[in-house]
Chains A and B, each alone.
Chain A
Protein backbone atom coordinates (compact mmCIF):
# COMPACT_ATOMS: atom_id res chain seq x y z
CA UNK A 1 0.00 0.00 0.00
CA UNK A 2 1.09 3.56 -0.58
CA UNK A 3 3.04 5.06 2.28
CA UNK A 4 3.43 8.71 1.35
CA UNK A 5 0.73 10.96 0.02
CA UNK A 6 1.53 14.41 -1.31
CA UNK A 7 -0.73 17.39 -1.12
CA UNK A 8 -1.66 19.21 -3.27
CA UNK A 9 -1.56 16.99 -6.34
CA UNK A 10 -0.91 20.04 -8.50
CA UNK A 11 0.29 23.56 -7.70
CA UNK A 12 0.68 26.52 -10.04
CA UNK A 13 2.36 29.73 -8.86
CA UNK A 14 4.10 32.80 -10.26
CA UNK A 15 7.85 32.96 -10.54
CA UNK A 16 9.37 34.43 -7.42
CA UNK A 17 6.66 33.13 -5.10
CA UNK A 18 7.23 30.39 -2.55
CA UNK A 19 5.90 26.87 -3.11
CA UNK A 20 4.91 24.55 -0.30
CA UNK A 21 4.17 20.86 -0.72
CA UNK A 22 3.12 18.45 1.97
CA UNK A 23 3.59 14.75 2.49
CA UNK A 24 1.80 12.48 4.93
CA UNK A 25 2.77 8.93 5.75
CA UNK A 26 1.34 6.08 7.77
CA UNK A 27 4.01 4.10 9.62
CA UNK A 28 7.07 5.01 11.64
CA UNK A 29 10.11 5.90 9.56
CA UNK A 30 13.89 6.12 9.74
CA UNK A 31 14.07 8.94 7.25
CA UNK A 32 12.05 10.83 4.69
CA UNK A 33 13.39 11.98 1.36
CA UNK A 34 12.26 14.40 -1.32
CA UNK A 35 12.94 13.87 -5.00
CA UNK A 36 12.33 15.97 -8.09
CA UNK A 37 11.36 14.63 -11.49
CA UNK A 38 11.51 16.86 -14.53
CA UNK A 39 9.27 15.90 -17.42
CA UNK A 40 10.59 12.84 -19.23
CA UNK A 41 13.53 12.39 -16.86
CA UNK A 42 14.55 10.27 -13.91
CA UNK A 43 14.14 11.26 -10.27
CA UNK A 44 16.79 13.40 -8.65
CA UNK A 45 17.38 13.33 -4.90
CA UNK A 46 16.89 16.70 -3.22
CA UNK A 47 17.14 16.22 0.51
CA UNK A 48 16.97 13.57 3.23
CA UNK A 49 15.72 14.28 6.74
CA UNK A 50 16.15 11.75 9.51
CA UNK A 51 13.42 10.88 11.97
CA UNK A 52 15.24 12.68 14.79
CA UNK A 53 15.52 15.92 12.80
CA UNK A 54 12.81 18.55 12.62
CA UNK A 55 14.09 20.87 9.90
CA UNK A 56 16.69 20.84 7.20
CA UNK A 57 17.84 23.37 4.61
CA UNK A 58 19.54 23.05 1.27
CA UNK A 59 19.86 26.21 -0.79
CA UNK A 60 16.33 27.44 -1.53
CA UNK A 61 14.81 24.26 -0.10
CA UNK A 62 13.50 23.88 3.43
CA UNK A 63 12.13 20.59 4.68
CA UNK A 64 10.32 20.06 7.94
CA UNK A 65 9.36 16.81 9.58
CA UNK A 66 6.72 16.28 12.26
CA UNK A 67 6.84 12.64 13.33
CA UNK A 68 3.94 13.10 15.76
CA UNK A 69 1.69 14.08 12.84
CA UNK A 70 3.49 11.78 10.39
CA UNK A 71 3.92 14.62 7.96
CA UNK A 72 6.60 16.59 6.16
CA UNK A 73 6.64 19.73 4.08
CA UNK A 74 8.93 20.95 1.33
CA UNK A 75 9.24 24.69 0.86
CA UNK A 76 10.88 26.12 -2.25
CA UNK A 77 11.58 29.81 -1.83
CA UNK A 78 11.87 32.39 -4.62
CA UNK A 79 10.68 29.91 -7.23
CA UNK A 80 12.11 29.86 -10.74
CA UNK A 81 10.78 28.51 -14.03
CA UNK A 82 13.38 25.72 -13.77
CA UNK A 83 11.65 24.47 -10.59
CA UNK A 84 8.74 23.28 -12.73
CA UNK A 85 8.67 19.54 -12.08
CA UNK A 86 6.97 16.81 -10.06
CA UNK A 87 8.08 16.45 -6.46
CA UNK A 88 7.89 13.16 -4.59
CA UNK A 89 8.36 12.24 -0.98
CA UNK A 90 9.66 8.80 -0.10
CA UNK A 91 9.96 6.94 3.17
CA UNK A 92 11.32 3.63 4.32
CA UNK A 93 7.94 2.55 5.71
CA UNK A 94 9.08 1.45 9.12
CA UNK A 95 12.43 -0.03 8.26
CA UNK A 96 11.42 -2.01 5.20
CA UNK A 97 14.38 -2.47 2.89
CA UNK A 98 12.95 -0.17 0.27
CA UNK A 99 11.67 3.32 -0.38
CA UNK A 100 7.96 3.86 -0.80
CA UNK A 101 7.03 6.88 -2.91
CA UNK A 102 3.96 9.07 -2.90
CA UNK A 103 2.19 10.07 -6.09
CA UNK A 104 3.86 13.43 -6.22
CA UNK A 105 2.95 17.09 -6.49
CA UNK A 106 3.11 18.58 -9.95
CA UNK A 107 4.54 22.09 -9.59
CA UNK A 108 4.25 24.65 -12.38
CA UNK A 109 6.08 27.97 -12.13
CA UNK A 110 4.58 30.59 -14.42
CA UNK A 111 6.93 33.29 -15.75
Chain B
Protein backbone atom coordinates (compact mmCIF):
# COMPACT_ATOMS: atom_id res chain seq x y z
CA UNK B 1 0.00 0.00 0.00
CA UNK B 2 1.23 3.48 -0.89
CA UNK B 3 2.00 5.47 2.26
CA UNK B 4 1.73 8.98 0.77
CA UNK B 5 -0.09 9.31 -2.54
CA UNK B 6 -0.66 12.30 -4.79
CA UNK B 7 -2.88 12.89 -7.78
CA UNK B 8 -2.38 13.70 -10.52
CA UNK B 9 1.17 12.65 -11.28
CA UNK B 10 1.41 15.01 -14.25
CA UNK B 11 -0.47 18.24 -14.83
CA UNK B 12 -0.13 20.32 -18.00
CA UNK B 13 -2.25 23.43 -18.15
CA UNK B 14 -2.52 26.92 -19.58
CA UNK B 15 -1.54 30.13 -17.82
CA UNK B 16 -4.42 31.63 -15.90
CA UNK B 17 -6.16 28.34 -15.16
CA UNK B 18 -7.02 27.04 -11.68
CA UNK B 19 -5.91 23.55 -10.68
CA UNK B 20 -5.83 21.29 -7.62
CA UNK B 21 -3.46 18.61 -6.45
CA UNK B 22 -4.64 16.02 -3.95
CA UNK B 23 -2.61 14.25 -1.28
CA UNK B 24 -3.50 11.41 1.06
CA UNK B 25 -1.44 9.58 3.68
CA UNK B 26 -2.36 6.30 5.32
CA UNK B 27 0.39 6.39 7.94
CA UNK B 28 -1.74 7.92 10.67
CA UNK B 29 0.59 10.91 10.86
CA UNK B 30 -0.47 14.18 12.45
CA UNK B 31 1.46 16.57 10.23
CA UNK B 32 1.40 17.04 6.47
CA UNK B 33 3.40 19.31 4.18
CA UNK B 34 3.60 20.73 0.70
CA UNK B 35 6.98 21.32 -0.91
CA UNK B 36 7.96 22.84 -4.23
CA UNK B 37 11.03 21.54 -6.10
CA UNK B 38 12.31 23.80 -8.85
CA UNK B 39 14.25 22.91 -11.98
CA UNK B 40 17.53 23.10 -10.03
CA UNK B 41 16.24 20.47 -7.59
CA UNK B 42 15.97 23.01 -4.78
CA UNK B 43 13.25 21.79 -2.40
CA UNK B 44 11.40 24.40 -0.38
CA UNK B 45 8.58 24.02 2.10
CA UNK B 46 5.36 25.83 1.24
CA UNK B 47 2.89 24.83 3.95
CA UNK B 48 2.53 22.50 6.88
CA UNK B 49 -0.65 21.37 8.62
CA UNK B 50 -1.01 19.64 11.94
CA UNK B 51 -4.31 17.86 12.45
CA UNK B 52 -6.08 20.16 9.97
CA UNK B 53 -4.56 23.33 11.44
CA UNK B 54 -2.17 25.51 9.41
CA UNK B 55 1.25 25.68 11.08
CA UNK B 56 3.58 27.08 8.44
CA UNK B 57 2.88 29.33 5.48
CA UNK B 58 6.22 30.16 3.89
CA UNK B 59 5.55 33.46 2.11
CA UNK B 60 3.72 31.65 -0.64
CA UNK B 61 1.58 33.79 -2.97
CA UNK B 62 -2.05 33.73 -1.89
CA UNK B 63 -2.90 32.13 -5.24
CA UNK B 64 -1.87 28.94 -3.45
CA UNK B 65 -4.41 27.71 -0.93
CA UNK B 66 -4.01 24.48 1.00
CA UNK B 67 -7.05 22.69 2.35
CA UNK B 68 -7.08 19.90 4.89
CA UNK B 69 -10.50 18.21 5.18
CA UNK B 70 -9.09 15.73 7.71
CA UNK B 71 -5.69 14.85 9.05
CA UNK B 72 -5.11 12.23 6.34
CA UNK B 73 -5.62 14.63 3.45
CA UNK B 74 -3.95 17.86 2.39
CA UNK B 75 -4.92 19.31 -0.95
CA UNK B 76 -3.32 22.22 -2.79
CA UNK B 77 -5.39 24.55 -4.93
CA UNK B 78 -3.64 27.00 -7.24
CA UNK B 79 -5.48 29.94 -8.79
CA UNK B 80 -4.46 31.91 -11.87
CA UNK B 81 -1.48 29.71 -12.71
CA UNK B 82 1.68 31.44 -13.88
CA UNK B 83 4.64 30.19 -15.88
CA UNK B 84 6.82 30.34 -12.76
CA UNK B 85 4.57 27.85 -11.01
CA UNK B 86 5.98 25.10 -13.21
CA UNK B 87 7.76 22.74 -10.84
CA UNK B 88 7.39 19.43 -9.05
CA UNK B 89 5.15 19.61 -5.99
CA UNK B 90 5.65 17.07 -3.23
CA UNK B 91 3.36 16.20 -0.39
CA UNK B 92 4.89 14.73 2.75
CA UNK B 93 3.83 13.66 6.21
CA UNK B 94 5.48 13.09 9.57
CA UNK B 95 4.59 11.61 12.91
CA UNK B 96 4.74 14.34 15.51
CA UNK B 97 4.32 18.08 15.67
CA UNK B 98 7.84 19.50 15.65
CA UNK B 99 8.12 19.69 11.87
CA UNK B 100 11.64 18.31 11.84
CA UNK B 101 10.88 14.65 12.33
CA UNK B 102 11.48 12.08 9.61
CA UNK B 103 9.27 12.93 6.66
CA UNK B 104 7.64 10.57 4.20
CA UNK B 105 7.22 11.92 0.71
CA UNK B 106 4.72 11.27 -2.02
CA UNK B 107 5.83 10.59 -5.61
CA UNK B 108 5.36 14.20 -6.70
CA UNK B 109 3.12 16.06 -9.14
CA UNK B 110 4.88 17.50 -12.17
CA UNK B 111 3.14 20.74 -13.08
CA UNK B 112 3.85 22.41 -16.40
CA UNK B 113 2.23 25.76 -17.10
CA UNK B 114 2.19 26.78 -20.76
Q: Residues of A at under 8 Å CB distance from B?
A: 2, 30-31, 33, 35, 37, 40-45, 48, 86, 88, 91-92, 95-101, 103-104, 106
Contact = CB atoms under 8 A, between A and B. Distances in A.
B107 A98 contact: no
Given A42-B106, A97-B48, A98-B56, A88 B99 contact: no
A99 B108 contact: no
Contacts of B58: 98
A26 B45 CA distance: 18
B102 A103 contact: no
Interface in B89-114: 90, 92, 97-100, 102-108
A43 B105 contact: yes
B27 interface: no
B100 A103 contact: no
Instruction: Name the 7 nearest CB pairs between A and B, nearest first.
Output: A92-B100, A97-B99, A42-B105, A101-B43, A43-B105, A98-B99, A42-B107
A89 to B, nearest CB: 11
Contacts of A86: 41
B99 A96 contact: yes
B19 to A, nearest CB: 20
Contacts of B100: 30-31, 91-92, 95-99
Given A42-B90, A42-B108, A99 B103 contact: yes
Contacts of A92: 98-100
B106 A99 contact: no
B11 interface: no
A45 B105 CA distance: 9
A98 B41 CA distance: 18
A69 to B, nearest CB: 21
